[in-house]
Structure 1
Amino acid sequence: MAHRKHTLAMRLGVLLTVVLTGWHIFASFLWISPPSELRTVVPGKALSNYMLPWYGQSWSVFAPAPINGDYFFKVRAHTPGPDGLVETEWVDATTAELSLAQYQLFPPRAAGLASQLASNFKGAYEELSDEQQEIAALGYYKGDAWLGRMQIALDEVGDDPDAVAAYISQERYASAYAAQVAQAVWGPEVVNVQFQVSRQNVIPFAERHNPDAERPAEQIVSTGWRGILALEDQSESAFAHTFRDALRRSGQ
């Protein structure tokens, strides 16, 4: 009887392993394949919740369109001084966070926040018209409703409300992240913040053997000063602890 129970447990274990392996292969196939209706067989957000952050991957590292550039997210702030506001130096949040991934077999998710945020923001920004981009470069920091005023101003000079809504969403995340970085570095007395997003392409493949080849210039997105914005459920203390450690590792 004991032998029979042992055999049954082994069979159930093998069956469970096969089911889990099959699910993982199927989920990975759906995730790395081009988006299609096939993904709808997995209800809700079950697929993304399973794949992220540990199993996230895509074909963007391969031809014909491999990743060929780096994104950067920099932050500076205004802090109170004896004679008025003092403008701080820029802090490179991307370089700081990437230091958390060096020599780490299992890098923390925090190692890629700024880079991903910069990529998302620049993509939304480039969907705006030239006139709307000029508005984004203005300062919006007075009062609690500055983000709403920005959205109204963008809508007034454009004919694509979806592009504006997408940009405002990224502006909200970027401003809140910049505020967290500023407060982690310069303390809670920060008055307002400014962030700078940029992308720098790598040396073109055709120039890879040229010893004098230089990377192309950074493509910088200019945005104005922003008010302090906080998102629901964010933890300033936990973020500050992690980011300060990253800043020390990066040597800034």
Structure 2
Amino acid sequence: MEQPNASPHATAIPSTGRKLVVVGIGVMFAIHTFLVTVWVMPANPFRDAVGGQNLMSYINNGILPFEQSWSVFAPTPRRGGENVKVRAYIGEPGSKTGRVTNWYDVTADEDQRIKYLVNPARIHSATRRLGGNINSSVAQFSPQQRTVIGASFITTPRTELKKMLLADNTKGLAGQINIGSYLDNDEMLTRFGTMYATARWGKGVTAVEFKVGHRSVPNYSKRNDIDFKDVPFTYYDIGVRKAIPGNADAQAAFDGYVRKAPEESATKGGS
């Protein structure tokens, strides 16, 4: 019986040697991808098992002909960290019956909660987003404007805060836009802080106060000499703000999430 002619489009079956080379490259690529993924992850059991120093040695001094910095994954990566602290005024601020809670580091608490979570809930990043937005605006403020935002606005309406910031504006339209952005985030931070403080310290929160911090990532060339966590925060004082309570559903969500405060000695008289 006559054999049919081979198709001119037929592909030759690769040799065993070529198959082994392709499989070997694929395995190496898979291992490399896994190690790079673990390297860029936050602290988690997989990273701890491999070893942070082992990962750094592989990425920077291993088989690669170049160092894989963050720019490989994001042309404009975050170059710093944000931090938000809050304290609450319980009862009438300044009165003999009122009291002030101790400062509480909300961001540090969130860091503990997400330590081993690969995909944390969005609530865990709320303070960082608010803190980052606040810091971006305040960094453009003049010293006079920074003094204004550090003042107390309990009985004074928020409209006065806007007027005072505009009065010290020296950057024209750009400054006005920045002030508008700051005021929006100041209000959101106050709402967030009110519900957070109520969930932590109980009912009766009449005002909240904040410290919003920022620290910059050390230069990549100093990565082996300075740990990011050892860089101190630079804080902006966001003065006392009249509480802005949330609705019942929003407060219930905070109540079920925020850790209750232990018994603490609070300052009397709202000072």
TM-score using structure 2 length: 0.60
The yes-or-no answer on 1:189 pairing with 2:200 is: no
Higher relative contact order (CA 8 A, sep 6+): 2
The Cα of 1:231 is off from its aligned counterpart by: 5.5
Change (3 A) 1:233 1:172: farther
- Partner secondary structure for residue 89 of structure 1: coil
**Structure 1, 158-167 or 111-120: larger mean CA deviation:** 158-167
Tell me how far apart the structure 2 counterparts of residues 78 and 61 of structure 1 sit (CA, whole Å): 47
The Cα of 1:199 is off from its aligned counterpart by: 0.9
Q: Which runs of 5+ in 2 are unaligned?
A: 1-69, 263-271
| Aligned with 1:149 (options 145, 148, 160) | 160
Greater C-alpha Rg: 2
Per residue, is there more helix in 1 or in 2? 1
Change (3 A) 1:62 1:152: same
Tell me how far apart the structure 2 counterparts of residues 61 and 85 of structure 1 sit (CA, whole Å): 54
| Aligned with 1:115 (options 120, 124, 128) | 128
- Which aligned pairs between 1:122-141 and structure 2 lie closer than 5 A? 122-141=135-154
- Which aligned pairs between 1:33-48 and structure 2 lie closer than 5 A? none
The Cα of 1:170 is off from its aligned counterpart by: 0.9
CA contact (8 A) 1:184 1:240 kept: yes
RMSD across aligned positions (CA): 3.0
The yes-or-no answer on 1:164 pairing with 2:179 is: yes
CA contact (8 A) 2:218 2:226 kept: no
Task: Name segments (4+ residues, structure 1) moved above 6 Å.
Answer: 211-214
CA contact (8 A) 2:153 2:241 kept: yes
Change (3 A) 1:148 1:108: same
The yes-or-no answer on 1:71 pairing with 2:82 is: yes
- Partner secondary structure for residue 132 of structure 1: helix
CA contact (8 A) 1:124 1:170 kept: no
Q: How big is each residue's C-alpha offset from its partner over 1:104-142, in whole Å with a ceiling of 9 and x where there is no partner?
A: 343211111111111111112222222111111111111
